[in-house]
Amino acid sequence: MTTQTRKSTNRLARRQFLKLTAGSTLAAAAAATATVMASTPALAAMSGRTNRPADLPNAKGPRCVVVGGGASGTTMAKYLKKENPKFDVVMVEPNATYMSCFLSNLWLDDLIDLKTLEHSFYDAARAGNYI
């Protein structure tokens, strides 16, 4: 077997290996997604969440939707409303509260209570005027 023949055989084998690996990865990802999708109603029932549409009033201006809360989501919603008061800012977040880690070292040293780190999305919306 010549060197040229050996190289082309190796390339073909590598190409087949890459195709096989990519196909297996995609199949595994599809199977995992199907499993998660099938278990979503059960997870939603356990957590008290539903997939029904939110009860939102009609928009009073251009509607901005912030997906996810936490420190970044509440900050984004606050400043969207602050920069343009005509915006109808809506935050999509399934939880009522979130825990911040900004003072967590003080909690680890037992200098503050854990409740100090918990924040209400409703209180943040009221303070940011985007209820």
pLDDT digits (tens, 9 = 90+) for 78-129: 999 999 999 999 888 888 888 888 888 888 888 989 888 898 888 888 888 8
pLDDT (tens digit, 9 = 90+) per residue, 48-84?
555 677 777 788 889 998 988 888 899 999 999 999 9
pLDDT (tens digit, 9 = 90+) per residue, 30-47?
554 444 444 344 444 445
Cβ neighbours of residue 52 under 8 Å, at least 6 residues apart? none
8-state DSSP, 114: G
Residue 14 is inside which H or E element, if any? helix 3-47
10 compared with 84, residue with greater pLDDT: 84
Cβ neighbours of residue 109 under 8 Å, at least 6 residues apart? none
User: Which of 105, 106, 107, 98 shows the shortest CA–CA distance to 75?
Assistant: 98
Hey, is 88 helix, strand or coil? strand
Confidence at residue 86, expressed as pLDDT on a 0 to 100 scale: 92
| Domain ranges, ordered by start, for the chain | 1-53, 63-128
